[in-house]
Amino acid sequence: MQTRTKIGIGLTAAVLAAGITAIPVSRQRTGGGQGVAAFREARAFAVSSELRQIDGPYGLLLGDSQMERLYLPELCGHPAVNAAIAGTRISGLRAVAGWLELPRPPEAIVVTIGTNDLTQRQRSGQLGAAEQFRAEARALFADLVPRARRVVATAVPPFDAGRPGVTKFYDVAAAPAYSAILSEECARAGCRFVDAFADLRDAAGMGRSPDGVHLGLDSAARDRIAARLQTAACPELPVHAR
């Protein structure tokens, strides 16, 4: 009975930690810990079960809350499974990817990551944070590329630096450098890089963000993001079929 209680408390803490990460609040948590790891492993187990229920080709979406919030039921004309988890940093994403059991190689894997690696806690609290991010990115893409027909990585989504609290909790100025790292390491591994959020980086696009950190998504914004992702993930398809 005590064991069950401890597990329940741990999973509840993990859910809360994952849910509040990437939102500028005073109790922000972006770390790991046994509870968070258990939650991510359980999520990977659930996604693996979902993948086994799909007959034929499929796509896989990986990342943090930016990807988790994106409604993209199809990719390249095939079902797309969203395995993103709020609060994930690049090191956590490597763990999730390792836990996933793919029934067969997906047609495409799309990765959006980096927002939680840009928290001030991660940037200022660790020496060589950018170098560590690069090493994790290199290892992540090296792991993913052999497992899929094509891997696509996106730029880090935009921040609205003018919103109260955003620059207090995030190193916004470092975002372009982290996107460049993703681009370089993606190219090194043989995957494709795209700024799927290009038209959301202007004042109008950032103004639609609910908190200055997450994307301001509606059906039109979703369709533009999806079009860019599918151009990168399935360039062989006719434009009308993407």
Average of per-residue pLDDT across 13-42? 54
- The residue with tokens 């994930």 is 88
**Cβ 84 vs Cβ 21: under 8 Å:** no
Domain ranges of the chain: 2-22+31-236
- The residue with tokens 């039109």 is 220
Q: SS3 string of 119-145?
A: EHHHHHHCCCHHHHHHHHHHHHHHHHH
Beta-strand pair 78-82/74-75: antiparallel
Structure tokens at 150: 């094509």
For the cut 70, the answer to whether the pLDDT of residue 33 exceeds it is no
Average of per-residue pLDDT across 54-58? 96
At residue 24, the pLDDT reads 39
pLDDT tens-digit readout, 129-173: 999 999 999 999 999 999 999 999 999 999 999 999 999 999 999
CA angle 155, 159, 165 (to 5 degrees): 150
At residue 127, the pLDDT reads 74
CATH of domain 2-22+31-236: 3.40.50.1110
Alpha helix positions (H), the chain: 2-20, 34-52, 65-68, 90-99, 120-125, 129-144, 166-169, 175-189, 203-207, 219-233
Residue 171 vs residues 122, 123, 124, 197: alpha-carbon distances, Å = 9, 7, 9, 19
What single string gives the DSSP state of each residue in 56-76?
A: S--EEEEESHHHHT----EET
**Cβ 46 vs Cβ 99: under 8 Å:** no
pLDDT tens-digit readout, 200-234: 999 999 999 999 999 999 999 999 999 999 999 99
At residue 241, the pLDDT reads 52
- With CA atoms as reference, report the closest residue to 184 among 219, 153, 224: 153
